[in-house]
A and B are shown apart, each in its own frame.
Chain A
Amino acid sequence: MTRQKYLFCYLMVAPAMLITAALGIYPMLFSLWMSFVEYDLLRINEFGTPFVGLDNYVAVFSDPRFVQTLVNTIIFTVLAVAATLGFGLLLSQILNANYRGRTAMRMLVCVPWFVPPAVASAIWMWLLNTDRSPINFLLQDLGLISSNVRWLTDSATWGPFSIPMMSIVAVRVWNGLPFAVIFLLAALQSIPRSLYEAAEVDGASLIQKFWYVTLPMLRPVLAILITLLVIGGLGSFEINYIMTGGGPQNLTNIMAVYSYQQAFSFYRFDLASAASGVIFIMTGFVSIFYLRSQLKGVA
């Protein structure tokens, strides 16, 4: 019986493992390896890939731009994950409620998901261009501002916060919100109606029902969602790269963009991989908590 069960388990896991090994683990190991050797496209043909130990990591950490980028990445991720979760919880409840036009509402809320990040960035760049932004014209017409908001280019800062950073977070949230909403919606469906009915009998308010029924029931799904969002946020690339390229003055630069610049602009795949290695450590740290909680849960 046990052997049969194990066989069943391995058979079910095998295809996933094979593909993950080839397209996930191998490239990941390759990338980690690159971070410990010299992998400079301009020198590789002549000098190969000599082992350099931690030199690449030392090099990126002694770059002040990288340190700023690291801070930006954390702030970007925290803001984006918090906003996505907050809006996501709200919208998923609304899409879960039972009313006429729900399907239409679901479609409207999910529309940003169908706009690829590259296209979304192009449209948002247009909407947020200082002199051409329809939002600025609208705000001026409403009398809310007198001079144009420099959404993507204002280099004034409040600590690590700046208008461009907020704008980029808003676009990221815009693009990633439907994913969170649908994910949470699926989870909401599995909460038994009877729990709410019981709470209603006890006279619970909407907020109490949310706090005492919905949230606890969503906890396992929330754990995964947060993990995925954090990992996604730390490795996020396209929107920042296309919209600001990390500017102005590095205020919106994040690690994946830094990594891309090192690799594709400066041909330093070793430094790029070291930057990715740092992301790896950060995402790994997040996942350990998640894994531990998950593995305890396996009965």
Chain B
Amino acid sequence: MMTIAVPNTATRPKLWQRLSFANKTDLVTRILIIAITVALLFYILLPVYWMLKSSFQPNQEIRVLPPIWFPSEATAQPYTNANRLIPMWRYVLNSLFVSVTAAAISTVIACSASYVLARFRFPGATIILGLILLTNLIPAITRVFPIYFFIQDLGLLNSYAGLILAYVGFSLPFAVLMLRGYFISAAPPELEEAALIDGCSHFEAFWRVILPVCLPGIAAVAIFTFLNAWNDFLWASLLLNQGEMKTIQVGIGDFAQEGGGVQYVNAFMAACVVATIPALVVFVFVQRWLVGGLTAGSVKT
């Protein structure tokens, strides 16, 4: 009746090749999908391209109207300038340290909490879940002062520990909710009952059976918590805004002048590019777990 493209992991067809096998309605659908995707890609990439190309242009060329889309002579000077204006690489390392640590801690804590909240009924479970959810409900902006003074009372102002603690606190509720949903949908109770029957303890069942199955979800949560910390400006600027320990986002703020203008637009853009690259690398590294090899094998219902 019709031929359907059965996905084959051995030979990876190009996106357009998949079109030719489809039936008529599918063809229309697919062309539409591709058209929308191309438009979306333009929308997604335009600002990124703008940032990138401005970081290679002299300031005079950036200011010209109508705007110049392609740098006439690319120069790396803005990057050198950026590094003279702020210790860019040191700040990037600071950011990496803070964000990776915060992501690791909150992922581990969220994993253990969301697993039991997804799987077991125990007294207080509902309240705990409710409380965790509740903390998300007030915008961060009004929590600024209580949290600032809490961190100050702990003596953790202007320390990595204080900032990491804050980030763990902020991403935890999100992480717990996301993972809980994932545990419910991706790891059926049968899996772990089987493990328990095989003589595993609850923890062993969690560690050996559930965690591997849920790796894509965990990877997503790790990326999320990492980027949450990486992209933050507000809290870093309040809790750790001094000396060499600054994060790169606060460092980028150094380009701002009184009144909000930016000195050295191209160097500013260069610093922004540098600030996105480590996040990109971490993402490329972690996104491999988002490929479903693991799940596809173990959860066949």
Contact = CB atoms under 8 A, between A and B. Distances in A.
Contact of B48 (A111, A259, A263): A111
B116 to A, nearest CB: 4
A299 B125 CA distance: 12
**Chain B's interface: helix, strand, loop or mixed, by majority?**
helix
A16 B113 contact: yes
Contacts of B291: 189
A157 B171 CA distance: 37
A31 B141 CA distance: 10
A295 B292 CA distance: 28
Interface string B4-45: 101111001111011000110110011001001100110111
B173 A272 contact: no
Nearest to A272: B142
A237 B139 contact: yes
A22 B169 contact: yes
Most buried by B among A101, A109, A224: A224
Contacts of B78: none
What class of interface size applies to chain B in its complex with A? Answer: 35 or more
A24 B217 contact: no
B185 A187 contact: yes
Given A114-B279, A116-B275, A16 B176 contact: yes
B167 to A, nearest CB: 9
Contact of A287 (B133, B139, B169, B216): B133
B135 A20 contact: yes
A158 interface: no
B104 interface: no
A115 B143 contact: no
A284 B25 CA distance: 43
Contact of A108 (B41, B146, B231, B272): B41
A189 B296 contact: yes
Nearest to B108: A15
Given A13-B128, A103-B284, A107-B280, A28 B138 contact: yes
B129 interface: yes
Contact of A99 (B18, B146, B184): B18
B51 interface: yes
A61 interface: no
Nearest to A217: B185
A9 interface: yes
A98 B19 CA distance: 13
Chain A interface residue count: which class? 35 or more
B132 A24 contact: yes
A137 B165 CA distance: 47
B14 A192 contact: no
A145 interface: no
Say whether chain A's binding surface is mostly helix, strand, loop, or mixed.
Answer: helix
A238 B235 CA distance: 12
Interface stretch (A46-54, A86-94, A161-169): A86-94
A123 B224 contact: no
Given A20-B169, A291-B129, A237 B135 contact: no
Nearest to B189: A299
Nearest to A283: B137
A296 B138 CA distance: 25
Contacts of B4: 200
Interface string A73-113: 00000000000000100110010011111110011111111
A55 B121 CA distance: 42
Nearest to B12: A100
A12 B283 contact: no
Given A15-B112, A19-B172, A185-B290, A228 B178 contact: yes
Contact of B150 (A10, A22, A112): A22
Given A8-B116, A15-B109, A183 B178 contact: yes
Nearest to A218: B185
Contacts of A224: 177-178, 180-181
A189 B18 CA distance: 20
B300 interface: yes
Given A22-B150, A111-B280, A231 B137 contact: yes
B220 interface: yes
A144 interface: no
**Chain A to chain B: the 10 pairs with minimum beta-carbon distance, closest first:** A24-B135, A23-B169, A189-B292, A235-B139, A16-B113, A116-B231, A114-B279, A27-B143, A27-B146, A283-B137
Given A13-B128, A99-B18, A207-B29, 11 more contacts: A9-B125, A97-B18, A103-B284, A107-B284, A112-B48, A114-B280, A115-B276, A119-B275, A189-B216, A190-B217, A228-B136
Interface of A: 4-6, 8-10, 12-13, 15-17, 19-28, 30-32, 34, 87, 90-91, 94, 97-103, 106-120, 122-124, 126-127, 131-132, 134-135, 137, 170, 174, 177, 179, 182-183, 185-190, 192-194, 197, 200, 203, 205-207, 217, 220-221, 223-224, 227-228, 231, 234-235, 237-238, 255-256, 259-260, 263, 269, 272-273, 276, 279-280, 283-284, 287, 290-291, 294-295, 297-299
27 contacts: A12-B115, A16-B110, A19-B109, A21-B131, A25-B135, A31-B143, A94-B37, A101-B14, A109-B41, A109-B44, A111-B276, A113-B279, A114-B279, A114-B280, A118-B249, A127-B47, A177-B44, A183-B178, A190-B217, A197-B6, A205-B29, A224-B181, A228-B136, A228-B174, A255-B139, A276-B141, A276-B142
